[in-house]
Amino acid sequence: MSGRLNGKVTLITGAGSGIGKAITHLFAAEGSSIGLMDIDQSGFNLLTEDIKKIGVEFITVEGDVSNIADCKNAVETCAKTFGKIDILVNSAGVTPRNAPKEWGFEKTWDWVVDVNLKGTVMMSKFASEIMKRNRLGSIVNLSSILGIVGYSEDISSDGFSPYTHSKGGVVQFTRDMAVQFAKDNIRVNALCPGFTYTPQTKRLTDDDEMKKKLESLHPMGRLGKPDEIAKAALFLASDESSFVTGACLPVDGGYTAK
Ligand SMILES: NC(=O)c1ccc[n+]([C@@H]2O[C@H](COP(=O)([O-])OP(=O)(O)OC[C@H]3O[C@@H](n4cnc5c(N)ncnc54)[C@H](O)[C@@H]3O)[C@@H](O)[C@H]2O)c1
């Protein structure tokens, strides 16, 4: 099999759903061995069947990216199985929209920032230690358009959404890490997707009025598809972007160009 990621080993968090799942499919099809990490293993059933058909090696690891021991375990298990980690994709993420209502502001804020920002930082910390041994690595973080701009006034938000706080943190973490790790030949970039059809946005896109509103906020007049985000992740993860680091790439149908 010849592919753009032949011989590479990728560890992907949030691999069982949405964008992480699309990235897992594409990277496997491009020849990478894959470590799939998710807090919820239910999404792995059909996905691992597909990967078996593609024929690349893979492992699954259950873990919570907001738990430092789970992050360490996922990285160590992947490195022990495959002997290295070339690529880390931090796709695990949550939104306050999907938090239990009874949690209230503080618990919801902690949850979102812990998963989206602390999780990205912890996974990158442990994976970069492995990458440094080979002086080779590419980290792709999932930020968001909402890591670059505030919520549109057309979408209800009170200015205290931990989603924007966490995704803005991911942008700045990406830039800082890119500068610090360039000497180790580890590139660090982020994707900033617009609203994309996944389980994370299902409650919004199932509502026809909200869906139309969201579409109108993207100059291309539609929302993104997970495989469109995966293709951009492939560029940033692969050697094709060998002179790109610290970039935060909008994949958003023009949302942030307005
Ligand atoms: N869908 C969008 O519109 C959109 C837009 C911009 C950015 N993003 C970001 O892209 C990433 C993927 O989002 P998605 O839409 O595919 O979401 P999704 O809900 O479909 O998938 C997220 C995955 O992360 C896993 N996960 C959640 N908490 C976890 C934890 N603590 N530890 C490990 N795994 C955990 C979930 O089980 C799920 O499999 C997220 O970081 C999200 O914020 C999504």
Q: Identify the structural domains of the chain with CATH numbers, from first to last.
A: 9-196+225-250 (3.40.50.720)
pLDDT above 70: residue 196 = yes
Catalytically annotated residues: 163
Is it the case that residue 155 has pLDDT exceeding 90?
no
Locate all alpha helices (DSSP H) within the chain, ordered by sequence: 18-29, 44-54, 68-82, 104-113, 119-134, 162-181, 202-205, 208-217, 226-237
Percent share of the chain, pLDDT over 90: 95
CB 237 near ligand 1, within 6 Å: no
Q: 230 φ, ψ to 5°?
A: -60, -35
Q: Tell how far the Cα of 183 is from the centroid of ligand 1, in angstroms.
A: 30
Predicted local distance difference test score (pLDDT) of residue 147: 98
Phi, psi of 254 (to 5 degrees): 95, 5
Q: Cα(201) to centroid of ligand 1, in Å?
A: 10
Q: What is the mean pLDDT of residues 186-196?
A: 99
pLDDT of 1 strictly over 70: no
Is the CB of 250 inside a 6 Å radius of any atom of ligand 1? no
Report the pLDDT value the prediction gives residue 218, as an integer from 0 to 100. 97
- d(CA 69, ligand 1 centre) in Å: 20
CB 147 near ligand 1, within 6 Å = no
pLDDT in tens, 19-51: 999 999 999 999 999 999 999 999 999 999 999
pTM: 0.98
